[in-house]
Amino acid sequence: MDRMKRIPITEQDPKVRATNFDEVCLGYTKEEAMKEASRCLNCKKPMCVTKCPVSISIPEFIQHVKNGEFEEAARVIARSSALPAVCGRVCPQENQCEGKCVLGNKGEAIAIGKLERFVADWARENNVNVAETKPSNGKKVAVIGSGPSGLTCAGDLAKMGYDVTIFESLHEAGGVLVYGIPEFRLPKEKVVKAEVENLKKLGVKIETNVIIGRTVTVDSLIDDEKFDAVFIGSGAGLPMFMGIPGENLNGVFSANEYLTRNNLMKAFREDYITPIKAGKKVAVVGGGNVAMDAARTALRLGAESHIVYRRSEEELPARAEEVHHAKEEGVIFDLLTNPVEILEDEKGWVKGMKCVRMELGEPDASGRRRPVPIEGSEFVMDVDTVIMSLGTKANPLVANTTKGVEINKKKCVIADEETGLTTREGVYAGGDAVTGAATVILAMGAGKKAAKAIDEYLSNK
């Protein structure tokens, strides 16, 4: 075995998977996992851990995997992470743990994410209960939002003995894990629901269909329902549009709408009622993970699917693995291309998209080279559906209806980076609601820090 080379992982054949919503990556077998784990150098000062936002003791769990002690491995991960089956699948490991693995200097980094996923899947399939909770301390904490930050914060607090209730505005818990990330990357029943069930086993209560700021307010939770502390993890779910002519035509969707119809409402399944206009030739505008998800979804619904991005391949913000998967499946990349207008047919539906070719100029504030339109390069892409995937911003509803909780110019909740404390005593916040759209694991990290801070606050109260 070559220590510098990763044990390859089995994936569904691209041609086959482009027509179904089953998971693309099939995961390691026991033997493959143990082999991959045996490549780990078990560093004395493991750099991988420093780049994990929740500081999982990575070499420790990998050594257990190497020895076939999967339950012990699961326990090590559970000390730090409440959602390992999710994170093993969706974290951008190349920029985090795996990005710092020393093997990556000369060869291929350890497949930490895939090993974490293997351990979590194994634990679930073997009904291993790694949950340990302290006795109840009688104190109540309300968690707003059941996305990654809320689930993590709730899980950690429940383990410490708190009586935790999560309030979720949609009819199902999980936030972006259920409405945003598609089935083919993150199976809902098998993975997300199972992780949510694990939380319930810790005693966490989940009230769906409650919109904080409309159904009840943070103030009423504290004053009338006697919660001792509140964590706001309401995310950044508001879609952005370009503001170009034709954006309200029939056949133009936000990626949030397209993905919500498909993931949460299961529009791709015949037996579910919610409709979706899949389109025959779809342009997804944007280059992030959400754009990849939308393009690969459109493809699976039968469309010719294009990614339209104003910079070049190098600047694509999506994970390399997702771009690679999208290409394998047949998504067409139209790079250095920017829409300027959406064109309509006689019935008010999209019939094309006028674009302009771009070139890269000097680096901008983000450090990436600024795209500049090439004069006279306009052309029309012949498409019948356009999906805008330009990013999302925070919804100010919770903060706007809560006394003393302030927001910044970007409408994100102002909170201390280390503790998540907002401008109001007893009210904490974390995840995209504070940072703007970021990653699942950063949101989990923020949920973890806030849980610790809430515990310190309530223990001294």
Contact 229, 141 (CB under 8 A): yes
Alpha-carbon distance 298 to 302, whole Å?
7
Comparison of 18 and 412: residue with beta carbon closer to other proteins:
412
For residue 456, count other CB atoms closer than 10 A to its CB.
11
Q: How do beta strands 369-373 and 350-363 pair?
A: antiparallel
Q: DSSP secondary-structure letter at 7? A: P
User: Which phi and psi (to 5°) does residue 190 adopt?
Assistant: -65, -45
Q: Among residues 173, 137, 143, 169, which one has the least CA distance to residue 155?
A: 143
State the nearest-atom distance from the C-beta of 100 to other proteins, in Å.
34
Comparison of 235 and 445: residue with beta carbon closer to other proteins:
235
Contact 116, 52 (CB under 8 A): no
Comparison of 36 and 183: residue with beta carbon closer to other proteins:
183
State the nearest-atom distance from the C-beta of 251 to other proteins, in Å.
8
Comparison of 110 and 221: residue with beta carbon closer to other proteins:
221
State the nearest-atom distance from the C-beta of 406 to other proteins, in Å.
20
Q: How do beta strands 350-363 and 229-232 pair?
A: unpaired
Comparison of 237 and 431: residue with beta carbon closer to other proteins:
237
Comparison of 155 and 279: residue with beta carbon closer to other proteins:
279
Alpha-carbon distance 111 to 122, whole Å?
16
State the nearest-atom distance from the C-beta of 386 to other proteins, in Å.
13
Q: DSSP secondary-structure letter at 395? A: -
Q: DSSP secondary-structure letter at 428? A: E
Comparison of 198 and 254: residue with beta carbon closer to other proteins:
254
Contact 82, 195 (CB under 8 A): yes
For residue 361, count other CB atoms closer than 10 A to its CB.
10
Alpha-carbon distance 394 to 261, whole Å?
21
The residues binding other proteins (CB under 8 A) are: 169-171, 179, 208-211, 214-216, 237-239, 241, 247-248, 250, 253-254, 256-257, 260-261, 265-266, 271-275, 277, 347-348, 392, 395, 397
State the nearest-atom distance from the C-beta of 408 to other proteins, in Å.
19
Q: DSSP secondary-structure letter at 210? A: -
State the nearest-atom distance from the C-beta of 439 to other proteins, in Å.
18
State the nearest-atom distance from the C-beta of 214 to other proteins, in Å.
6
State the nearest-atom distance from the C-beta of 243 to other proteins, in Å.
8
For the chain, state the CA radius of gyration. 23
Comparison of 78 and 443: residue with beta carbon closer to other proteins:
443
For residue 185, the SS3 value is coil
For residue 291, count other CB atoms closer than 10 A to its CB.
28
